[in-house]
Amino acid sequence: LNINIVAIIAMIKHRYHYTISYKKARLGKQLAMADLFGDWDASYRFLPKCMVAMEASNPGSVVCCIEAFKYCRSVICIDATHLYQKYKGKLLV
């Protein structure tokens, strides 16, 4: 999990006496991680099934909170600061 790309390159060079590029080592690490844990797309496709199961087993859980967030409105915050010296005036962010 926490092995870096340079260590992968060194391990391949030591074991097989062949130097691979950084790009190949990075791609190999990504493919190995996908084999171990699955890819992002599959995880997101599986998430709604987990949410339904959690709501069925524990009514009133966090699923209701997530469903309620779609009705929240965006809020714009405006803050002002005074500008001194060269840039005199007020800056609104």
Nearest to residue 52, comparing CAs of 69, 68, 64?
64
Cβ-based burial of 63 (10 A; exposed 0-12, middle 13-18, buried ≥19): middle
pLDDT in tens, 50-92: 888 887 887 777 666 666 777 777 777 777 777 777 767 766 6
Rounded to the nearest angstrom, the gap between the alpha carbon of residue 7 and the centroid of all alpha carbons in its chain is 24
pLDDT in tens, 18-57: 999 999 999 999 999 988 888 888 888 888 888 888 878 8
